[in-house]
Amino acid sequence: SQKIEQNSEALNIQEGKTATLTCNYTNYSPAYLQWYRQDPGRGPVFLLLIRENEKEKRKERLKVTFDTTLKQSLFHITASQPADSATYLCALGGDYKLSFGAGTTVTVRA
């Protein structure tokens, strides 16, 4: 069966450092991968999408890589800020449905 795994531990980092989150998957061949941010008590908010034929995508301080051979995506938040503290979800898609990972909670210390 399909499985999506994100960092099992929460991530605590110092302001200004780079946070790196992983998303690994098995038994899946997604056409694209998405990352969402979720704040406590709120719905997820779309951040970035990367297609299967793309290696890297950037948006401001965010960078996503996608390695279909390793079946892995890395999500980087550079120059992190306390406002980046949230849970980040990866989601895999191939049609109009998405399969989500459980998320990684990031806390950025000032």
CB of 71 to other proteins, least distance (A): 17
Rank residues 83 and 96 by Cβ distance to other proteins and give the closer one. 96
Give the three-class secondary structure for 105. Answer: strand
Rank residues 8 and 14 by Cβ distance to other proteins and give the closer one. 8
d(CA 73, CA 71): 7
CB of 75 to other proteins, least distance (A): 15
d(CA 28, CA 39): 28
Rank residues 14 and 96 by Cβ distance to other proteins and give the closer one. 96
List of residues contacting other proteins (CB under 8 A): 4, 32, 34, 41-46, 49, 51, 89, 91, 93, 96-103
Rank residues 80 and 106 by Cβ distance to other proteins and give the closer one. 106
DSSP 11-60: EEEETTSPEEEEEEEES---SEEEEEEE-TTS--EEEEEEETT-SEEEET
